[in-house]
Structure 1
Amino acid sequence: MLAVNVTTVVLLFAAMATFLSYGGLIWIEWAMLAAYALTLPWLSIGLWNAVIGLWLDRKYARDAATIVNPALARISGDEPISSRIAVVMPLRNEDPAPSLQRLRGLQEDLANTAWVKHFDFYVLSDTDDPSIALREEAGVAQWRRCYPDVSIQYHRRNCNAGYKAGNIAEFLDRSGADYDFFLPLDADSMMGTDAVLRLVRVMQVSPEIGMLQSLVTGLPSKTFFTRAFQFGMRHGMRSYTLGSAWWQADCGPNWGHNVLIRTAPFHQHCMLPKLPGKGALSGDILSHDQLEAALMRRAGYEVRVLAEESESHEENPPSLADFIRRELRWCNGNMQYLRLLGLPGLATLSRVQLYLAIQMYVAAPAWMLFVILGASMAALPEQFVGAPLWLGVSLFATLLVLNLMPKLMGLAQILSDKERAAPYGGRGLVCASGIVEILVSMLMAPIVAFGLSLFLVGLVFNRRVGWDAQQRHRDRLEWKEAARVLWPQTLAGFALTAWLAVLVPWALIFGAPMLIALGFSIPIAVITTSPSLSRWSVKNGVFDIPEDRSPSVGLEIPPRADIA
């Protein structure tokens, strides 16, 4: 894996260096090469994860997940549950009704099995809004009245110390000794009984595993933005996750929810440090998940991924503005890993995981910097004298395709099997949805990358984000809010367009996707939440996922007739 990635990075870097070297390299071009180099590791990793994942899927078909996680072969699926499991859901200032409904749905589903007595349910509140707290308490009280024989606990903290990780740490201090495993769910998570019991059965017969992470897919949605996002995400992560699980093996990732965790070693070894200092990368760690996986592996336990789709779901942001806000918080947290790469005792691959978590949020701003520096070269046309157009076009096309490889490989998995394509509406609809989603994502990517770039600049000046309640539900994004979030992208887009139009008009052809995206980011964000566009998507099945067409019990799917 190291060999193919190093080779890919070297070849792509050499191709760009060759193109820029016509006319001699000046300082701007050296800066462009440096920014370009920062984009390549994440690009290459995505390419090879997806290629390997597709190869494994085609070679082993339904057994591919077992090939990369041999512990799955140890169970038949009907083993008794002998462990004690706590299902915990942290909440903070969010509408508790849908979250409690999903958690209660899991409990009611488990009640249809012989194993419900092995599960206790905890609602861990960090809510500081009294009105929301009252609704949380009322919702839990009503749930308890309906199921007096089930252990349903509610605990509300007086402060938000340590954010979500701190909330779970306090739960473990109080009650962790009572449980073999615990299953953290986010406020937007939903899991089915079969998925949960499968995780438990594997962990019971695999004492070497400390975390078993389930593949998480999006819940059905009625908004165009969310439907497009989760359609692309689902196909982009399918082969990607299978490929990464193959080479990362016992040193896999943790996504922070829908993961079964062995309680004792987690409590003993995975409590997060508070980073000293006063800067933006100090204090409580905002992105706890991957660091916890690294600490669990350091303690001698495996961290594994169950790389197959199951009844494990989450809600995705309802608009571009909400998605960017979430990305900024994750970006802040992942940048804190810069201070943790040198933690003693970490496995080499754990350090790679932390580096990749950083790289994920460095690559997009680095690409944005590369583009801006390239646009500034328009004032120096002599630097392009002698540069072959075919090389520039070929390199541009290659990079575009490589960026899309995870999604293309995921779509190829579905299109290669008629039975797999059927739950998505058939191969024709999968192709149409895939093309539309790629076009939408090409418009979204520069908008998000520019927002991350501004945020990373702000981190240098100690500007950071907190952990506020997320907006999970909205009918549409209003123009005023979109303008408040996206005016910098709009300004940058029109400025770049004017600059290139005056100095090198031909460059507008290649820059059109990015320039359109940035300049029209506000209407793009608003239109992608338009009720009429959303109704069109639902009515015609564009971006349908299997859960849209064959809903499972408990999934909150708006009826098509109501949407239409």
Structure 2
Amino acid sequence: MDALTETLVPDAAETIEPAIAPPMPGESHLVMPEQKLFRFDARQERRKRIKAQRAPWLQRLVVFGGGLALTCWGGYEMYRVIDVGGITFLKWMLLVLFLANFSWIALAFSAGVVGFLHLLILRPKPPAAPEKLVSRNAVVMPIYNETPSRVFGALEAIHEDVEATGLGAAFDWFFLSDTTDPDIWIAEERAFAELRRNLGPKARIYYRHREKNTARKAGNIADFVTRWGAAYDHMVVLDADSLMTGHAIVSLAAAMEADPDSGIIQTLPLIINRNTLFARVQQFAARIYGPVIADGLSCWMGRDGNYWGHNAIIRTQAFAEHCGLPHLKGRPPFGGHILSHDFVEAALIRRAGYTVYMLPSLGGSFEESPPSVIDVAARDRRWCQGNLQHIRVLPAKGLHLASRQHFVTGIMGYLASPLWLAQLLVGILLVLQASYIRPEYFSKDFALFPTWPRFDAERSLELFEVTMAVLLAPKLFGLILALFDGPTRRGAGGAIRLTFSTLFEVLMSALLAPIMMMVQTGHVLHILFGFDTGWEPQRRDDGSIPFKAIVRRHWTHVTLGFISLVAALLISPSLAAWMSPTIAGLVLAIGLSWASGQKSIGMALKRVGLLVTPEESSVPPIAARANALAEAMAADGHDDSDGLRVLHDDPEFRALHEAFLPPAPHRARGDITPERAMAVAKLGDARDIDDAVHWLRPQERMALLHDRALISLLARLPAGEKNQGPLIAG
């Protein structure tokens, strides 16, 4: 404690230590060394403890061989389209860009074929629930500035469902908070205290708040593993919007017990609880087409799979030994902490000899999605940077070839947008050249006839039709499977409504695709020019964004759409027709983005039976329970309370908060942060609690909430008239 605080609070050290159950169990440490990307001895790879399963070579041959064959055919057809009167430099550029874009939709098509046939013929069934578990498992939920009632209600529902299986003794439960908003931090602690009261003293449910969110989510998980991980064989990692049934969680634990070679086992989360137009489109697509894509992915990956960061189980000691993320040299966006940590962790644990695979047939795994185009664009900015960082991880030594392919897929998921835009621009330039620019009819080499910049229009149309068929085929596969599956068909409103919903989703996706192309192209360019992204909490609630914000975000897209329309009409009406899907999406960008976030539109479609999923027709009991618990917690008003007032007005909670704080670190005399110094000065000058609430900024509040001496000083302030006067920024 510094001299200034001792002067203001003479007996601040005389705090009462209440007899409160600790928020976390005793620490049980694991060492988690930072891994070397470009130094790996293959002799370090762990030998399999059970007979290794054969790699799915047939499925890989169909997926990659089929994708390659289709790409070669498409490239040949495009060559014949442009090989009319000779090939110019721009035509070669168009061919290369076409191959780059077509190869990825061809690969998705061939994987969709494998998933479709596997689901249609074999109809895999979910694993049966185990009768007993011998392992100790931690269920961890990292949270960052989330609405407390939602996340605490969700975990309470999951806890109840696991207890109902009779295997609850095998699981401990952890909230791992990286929250930086002082009011939300206090709300989390109040929700945690309420949850402990609801579940009783024997419930093994814990809460930890980190003072600094170093390395973000990956650092949050690593902090848990290094401090408490040795006590647990496995950990089930959730996201703040995750829901998993008891059957799903105990089945994951049983699968990992039965397979000592497994390092990570991933589930397929379905999207639920979505009401806005955009979110309902995503929800429907994930439910109808997602299983086909995921099953095809699982078939060719086998035990060389990937990790999506949540709704999965991880072998704790293996994770600690082999998944310590390196710090990339240089500055962000390509240096620093690895943002998309999950792909890298899967690659590192697979490099060490453990397997990574998916259980797509295991139901009961759910998540949520962003409510609007602007929200998904904000999330994609971070994901884009994380995936482009993988360019530096891709050549790491010792990685399995499948792991490298996962990295390439993630990278291309974002590079595809600027490549698509480049293909459109080159196509426009070629048409412009053919229409307005006088060509160089005779080259330096002698020729009897000039070189005309022409195309084979009929073959071009055929290639366009085939490309659209390849692009849309996985959606058709999903629709066919849904129509053949009675519960899914009935849950989606019947065959007619299911078909119309699919057509509506295809139309919406086609209109939104050019908007996302421009958004992602902007993300890629910002990152290539060295601009770092932040880590803002994701908006999860339904609700619209102010119209002015939508106009600011999309006016450039609309302008580009109108320019493209006018230019295409001036150049050639056929060009305007060819570009019409892209032009329509851009011209309508503001209206589409506004409509995407409207709950009223989404609910209107639901009332007429469009975009309905089986999980809406028959709500999973765990989702209903989580929603009910969240509503009950929200009704208490903790989510919106001012944290400083709560600490000041509630001595019992103040004692709880102080008991939850870790021991104060030793601080040398004069080692005072600016935030703490300002907090001390403002508290000393405050006449009552109202002044403190009005004056203290968020970072100063965080400094106060971490400091028992400052909390004591806050508690001594007189009560004031709440909400008097305007809010002052100090």
Determine if contact 1:319/1:529 at 8 Å carries over to the other structure: yes
Compared with structure 1, are the counterparts of its residues 339 and 523 closer, same or farther at alpha carbon in structure 2 (3 Å cutoff)?
same
Q: Does 1:25 align with 2:87?
A: yes
Instruction: Give 3-state SS (helix, strand or coil) of 1:231's partner.
Output: helix
Q: Which residue of 2 aligns with 1:51?
A: 113
Give the 3 Å change call, closer, same or farther, for CA 375–168 of structure 1 in structure 2: same
Q: Aligned partners of 1:207, 1:552: CA distance in 2, in Å?
A: 32
Q: Could you report, residue by residue, the CA deviation over 1:21-55 in whole angstroms, capped at 9, with x for unpaired residues? A: 32432232222223222213321221011101111
Question: 3-state DSSP class of the match of 2:118?
Answer: helix
- Give the letter for the 1:230 counterpart: Q
Cα distance per residue 1:248-298 (max 9 Å; x no partner) = 101111111000111110111012111101242111111111111111111
Which residue, out of 256, 260, 273, partners 2:309? 256
Residues 338-396 of structure 1 deviation map (CA, whole Å, 9 limit, x = unaligned): 00111111111111111111122222321121112212223212688652322111111
Segments of structure 1 that go 5 or more residues without pairing to the other structure are 66-71, 560-564
Which segment drifts farther, 111-120 or 163-172?
A: 111-120
Aligned equivalent of 1:168: 221
1:517 paired to 2:585 = yes
- Give the TM-score normalised by the residue count of structure 2: 0.73
Q: Partner residue of 1:105? A: 157
Of 506, 510, 520, which residue of structure 2 is paired with 1:438?
A: 506
CA contact 2:414–2:524 (8 Å) conserved in 1: no
User: Which residue of the partner structure matches residue 555 of structure 1?
Assistant: 623
With 248-257 and 146-155 compared, the bigger mean Cα shift is at 146-155
Structure 1: how far apart are the matches of 2:456 and 2:90? 20
Bigger share in helix: 1
Counterpart amino acid of 1:79? E
Q: Distance in 1 between the 2:111 and 2:563 partners?
A: 37
Alignment of 1:133-282 (within 5 A): 133-147=185-199, 148-282=201-335
Cα deviation, residue 334, structure 1: 0.6
2:385 maps to: 332
- Establish whether residue 349 from structure 1 lines up as the match of residue 411 from structure 2: no
Kept after mapping to 1: 8 A contact 2:374/2:593: yes
1:536 to 604, 625, 637: 604
Q: How many residues align?
A: 549
Following superposition, the deviation at residue 93 of structure 1 comes to: 1.5
Please state if 1:467 is matched with 2:519.
Answer: no
Match of residue 526 from structure 1: 594
Percent sequence identity is 31
Q: Which residue of 2 aligns with 1:69?
A: none
| Residue pair 2:271, 2:366 contacting (<8 A) in 1 also | yes
- After TM superposition, the structure 1 = structure 2 runs for residues 420-499 of structure 1, keeping only pairs within 5 Å, are 420-499=488-567
Alpha-carbon distance change, 233 to 364 in structure 1, aligned in 2, over 3 angstroms = farther
Residue 415 (structure 1) aligns with: 483
Within 5 Å, which residues of 2 pair with 1:78-97? Answer: 78-97=130-149
Give the alignment partner of residue 122 of structure 1, picking from 174, 192, 204.
174
| Gap regions ≥5 residues in structure 2 | 1-60, 440-451, 629-730
Question: How far apart in 1 are the matches of 2:551 and 2:182?
Answer: 31
Contact persistence 2:164–2:246 (CA under 8 A): no
Deviation at 1:423, TM superposition (A): 2.0
Where does residue 8 of structure 1 map in the other structure? Answer: 70
Deviations 1:294-342 (A, max 9, x none): 1111111110100125110101110011111112211110111100111
Distance 1:558 1:170, change over 3 A: closer
* Distance (Å, rounded) in 1 between the aligned partners of 2:134 and 2:291: 32
- The answer (yes or no) to whether the contact 2:371–2:541 under 8 Å persists in 1 is yes
User: What is the alpha-carbon distance in structure 1 between the residues aligned to residue 414 and residue 332 of structure 2?
Assistant: 19
TM-score (norm 1): 0.94
Deviation readout 1:198-218 (Å, 9 max, x if unpaired): 111111111111111001100
> Following superposition of structure 1 onto structure 2, how do residues 283-362 of structure 1 map, counting pairs within 5 Å?
283-308=336-361, 310-362=363-415
The structural deviation recorded for 1:226 is: 0.7
Larger Rg: 2
CA distance in 2 between counterparts of 1:77 and 1:152 reads 23
Measured after TM superposition, the shift of residue 3 of structure 1 is 2.0
Per mean C-alpha deviation after superposition, the further-off stretch among 416-425 and 111-120 is 416-425
Backbone CA RMSD of aligned residues? 1.8
Q: 1:26 to 1:485 in 2, by over 3 A?
A: same
Q: Is the 8 A contact 2:105 2:470 kept in 1?
A: yes
Contact 2:488/2:614 (8 A) holds in 1: no
The worse-fitting range, judged by mean Cα deviation, of 527-536 and 344-353 is: 527-536
Equivalent-residue separation in structure 1 for 2:92 and 2:456 (angstroms): 19
Q: Secondary structure at the match of 1:526?
A: helix
